[in-house]
Amino acid sequence: MLQHIVWYVSLSLMMVVGFGWTFVVLKSGTREEDYTPLQKRAYRLRARFFWLLVALFGTPMVYTLVDLPYDIIRPAQGAGTIQAVNATGYMWRWELSHDRVEAGRPVEFHVTSADVNHGFAIYDPDMKIVAQVQAMPGITNTLHHTFGQPGTYRVMCLEYCGLAHHNMTTEFTVAARS
Ligand code: CUA
């Protein structure tokens, strides 16, 4: 639904730009004129347009950035409560050191790759992305996430990494807290 709205808004803006271009092309000639007043008006218009864009998109941008699937790195609440999972990406599969974690307890994923760059993305049972980090060769990235709901979660690769990129998925279980 939202994607449709975004698509139509983009399409309308593209059409506005297109009409603008056509207008300029049709109006352009070899006439010699003083363009200074026109230029001044254009600059004024541009400044107004800039502030209009800031007003239109600034608030939604701040609002949507809050929903980005990057978890804030919190200090460990006692090492014993943290569940560590090592995740390694290979062309084209994931290897997880554990396929079961507990809900309500922080999980620390140590994510790396054995070959090329992969994207380590975790999806909840409704296939909504909940956390993601880059899987890079030679580097181990840490991803913190505390799962709220038990269920089967899916890991998918978010970085195109070759022919079978789309097959690069695995699952793990988030169990209710014991
Ligand atoms: Cu790994 Cu795409």
For the chain, the average pLDDT equals 89
Q: Does 99 score more than 80 pLDDT?
A: yes
Strand-strand pairing, 100-102 and 83-90: unpaired
Query: Which atom of ligand 1 lies nearest, measured to the CA of 162?
Result: 2
Query: Which atom of ligand 1 lies nearest, measured to the CA of 168?
Result: 1
- 154: CA distance to ligand 1 center in Å? 14
Cα dihedral sign for 84, 88, 89, 94?
Answer: negative
Q: What is the mean pLDDT of residues 155-178?
A: 94
- 170: CA distance to ligand 1 center in Å? 12
pLDDT one-digit tens code per residue, 107-159: 999 999 999 999 999 999 999 999 999 999 999 999 999 999 999 999 999 99
The response to whether residue 145 sits with its C-beta less than 6 Å from ligand 1 reads: no
Map out the domains of the chain as residue ranges. Answer: 2-63, 83-175
37: left (phi over 0), alpha (psi -120 to 50) or beta: alpha
CB of 126 closer than 8 Å to CB of 153: no
pTM (two decimals): 0.61
- Report the distance separating Cα 25 and Cα 38, nearest Å: 16
Q: Does 30 score more than 80 pLDDT?
A: no
Residue nearest to atom 1 of ligand 1 (CA): 118
Quick one: CA torsion of 23, 25, 27, 32, rounded to 10 degrees? 150
pLDDT of residue 88: 97
Q: Which carries the bigger pLDDT value, residue 75 or residue 55?
A: 55
pLDDT of residue 178: 78
The response to whether residue 165 sits with its C-beta less than 6 Å from ligand 1 reads: yes
Class of domain 83-175: mainly beta
Q: Does 78 score more than 60 pLDDT?
A: no
Provide the terminal-to-terminal Cα distance of the chain, rounded to the nearest Å: 39
- Here the tokens at position 165 are 């990129």
Q: Does 77 score more than 70 pLDDT?
A: no
Q: Mind giving me the DSSP string for 72-115?
A: --PPPS-GGG-EEEEEEEETTEEEES-SEEETTSEEEEEEEESS
